[in-house]
Amino acid sequence: MKILFTLESFFPTHRAGTEVYVLNLCNYFKAKGHDVSVLITSSEGLKDYSYEGIPIHVFDIPKHAIAEELNGLMPPRGIEAFKVKLLELQPDLIHFHSFGRAINSYHLKEAKALGIRTVFTPHLGGTFCINGDMRLYGRENCNGEVIESRCLSCNLTQKGYSVGLSKVLGRVIKEATHFNPIKNKLPAAFSQAKHRFSELKRTDKYADVIFSIAPWIQKAFEANGIAKAKLIPQGISPVFFKAFHKTQFDPKLIKFIFIGRTHSSKGLHILRDAWNALSNPNAELHIITNPSGGEQTYYDDHKQWAQSKTNIIWNEALKQEEVASYLNGMDVLILPSISNEVAPLVILEAATRKIPVIASDYVAMKDLIQHDIDGLLFKNEDVDDLKNQIQKLIQAPKLIEKYSKAIKRAHSMWEISEMVQEEYSKL
């Protein structure tokens, strides 16, 4: 089978959870003898190249997006170049991973029109949420149902309007975008919730298979009336399942670890303030991170903070094998993410070492952690609550061993790839 995976960016220029997921799928299907390649976008004139023996094809998009394409009033520019690539590559099946500015359901529709089998796996909350954070009015987790007036209201509160006024304006804007005499004269941004709804409907119509990699994603698809979505587990790289030796737990010096990009959405500032507030830090904090584009000051500030503390160890740019080895000596993972998580790989990677997690009660984490059974949850963005959960384990280290015993086995990406292959074969 000739399989084409498509997403907006790929290794080596961009490396995050989605890229890792696709790379693992590529390696599996390549090992099974399939013809595998990847299609990405570039606004910098990047040419086709190869990564770890995988052909990476590139199509050009304009450097700067315009409001009309961002809000669905027109297909993304570059879609003609996308069609040219599909005609050149002639894949039997194309597997889309997340939709964004450069690749979305318009491309899915075009692939389907060419007779190509189509598959879609979302990796971002933006599939359902115009803010991208799945936080209803910034106060609670959202169920992901796209209700245009509610989405617009929620977006307005993020811009500083009161909830009451936002709800009124949301209803007015929604009606205006559906009123023929004026809808084409309104600011493009008014159509972003309408665009999100249309994206889901096109996805439902033109995707042969939709995969949900977390229960909350499956529930969100169901809330939007999309019945063809199939729930499969999230999977992690086989490297974490290789033979390893876990360091013996020492309750006199508990080793906490944060793994993630140095980006405000990952909540490192919440962890910093909580760590600073600990009354008796009989513990170490280890950080494994990478800088994140657009937040250089945030990165610099937190690196300087970490280096000023004797009980914090800062690590950068570790390879997966190095992360797996590092986890052997850790006791508790701290994941204080505020938003932009789907099914955090790092929780599952820690699970291979039976490492319990302290995480925010964001929707993606609540899928993976049972509070006070196999880990702890704290109220999203609540520094005091996070501090209390850390202190709880420092004062009662036996809880770490209790939670560790309750952690369920994680799935390898090889297992997940077998599930994906089974669905492919049905097409």
Supply the pLDDT for residue 30: 97
Taking residues 283-309, what's their average pLDDT? 93
pLDDT at 112: 98
Other C-beta atoms closer than 10 Å to the C-beta of 162 total 10
pLDDT at 251 over 80: yes
Q: What is the amino acid identity at position 166?
A: S
Please check whether residue 120 is in contact with residue 203, taking contact to mean a CB–CB distance below 8 angstroms: yes
For 148-187, what is each residue's pLDDT tens digit? Answer: 999 999 999 999 999 999 999 999 999 999 988 887 778 8
Read off the pLDDT of residues 366-384 as tens digits, 9 standing for 90 and up.
999 999 999 999 999 999 9
Indicate if the pLDDT at residue 281 is higher than 80. no
pLDDT reading at 280 higher than 80: no
* pLDDT > 80? residue 293: no
Assess whether pLDDT exceeds 80 at residue 62.
yes
323-339 per-position pLDDT tens digit: 999 999 999 999 999 98
Q: Report the mean per-residue pLDDT for the chain.
A: 95
Contact between residue 119 and residue 144 where contact means Cβ atoms under 8 Å apart: no
DSSP 266-277: GTHHHHHHHHHT
Distance from C-alpha of 411 to C-alpha of 24, rounded to nearest angstrom: 13
Distance between CA atoms of residues 164 and 157, nearest Å: 9
What pLDDT sits at residue 256?
Answer: 98
pLDDT for the residue 294:
78
The predicted structure's pLDDT at residue 182: 80
CA atoms within 13 A of residue 98's CA, in its CB half-sphere: 23
H or E, element range at 249? none
Tokens representing 412? 């390898």
Percent of the chain scored above 70 by pLDDT? 100
Backbone angles phi, psi at 247, to 5 degrees: -65, 140
List domains and CATH numbers for the chain.
Answer: 2-130+190-237+413-426 (3.40.50.2000), 238-412 (3.40.50.2000)
